[in-house]
Amino acid sequence: MSRRRVPFTVAAAALLAACGSPGYAVRPVPRIVADSVGQPVERLQDVFGAPRRIDTGTTRAVYVWFLAQQPDGAPAGFHGCELEVTVDQRSTRVLGYSLANVGWSKCGEVARKIRIAGR
């Protein structure tokens, strides 16, 4: 009788789901940012880390992140996705965002791991 081995990643995911612990999901950057509009900017800082730059104004701040990516077949150089998020200074909630492709990268293909709420 032959036994099939279950890959560790599948077994680990099943174990985590069975335990009911909060998990993580890999989601594309545009989706993460779109879902963060109206939410505190700290949520994005948890996902992307410290911003590369913060430009402050009287009522708004602009947080800028650069997410490096090396697409297949791309020449050596600077590739990635630049994310600019406008934040209300008083409430620290995200008002809007813009994404820009840098080099051969496409922002829709860049994904990050985000914590999802446990039920």
- Cα–Cα distance for residue pair 41/93, rounded to 1 Å: 6
Each residue's pLDDT tens digit, 79-116: 999 999 999 999 999 999 999 999 999 999 888 888 77
Give the per-residue pLDDT at 23: 77
Confidence at residue 22, expressed as pLDDT on a 0 to 100 scale: 62
Question: Helix count (H) and strand count (E) of the chain?
Answer: 3, 6
- Write down the pLDDT at residue 114: 81
CB atoms under 10 Å from CB of 24, counted, come to 11
- pLDDT interval class at 119 (50, 70, 90): very low
CB 105 within 8 A of CB 79: yes
Distance CA 64, CA 84 (A): 5
Q: What is the pLDDT of residue 106?
A: 92
CB atoms within 10 A of CB 66: 16
Give the start-to-end residue ranges of the domains of the chain.
Answer: 8-115
Which pTM does this prediction carry?
A: 0.74
Tell me the pairing of strands 111-115 and 60-68. unpaired
Q: How do residues 40-73 score in pLDDT, each as one tens digit? A: 999 999 999 999 999 999 999 999 999 998 888 8
pLDDT at position 50? 96
* Rounded Cα–Cα distance for residues 77 and 69 (Å): 10
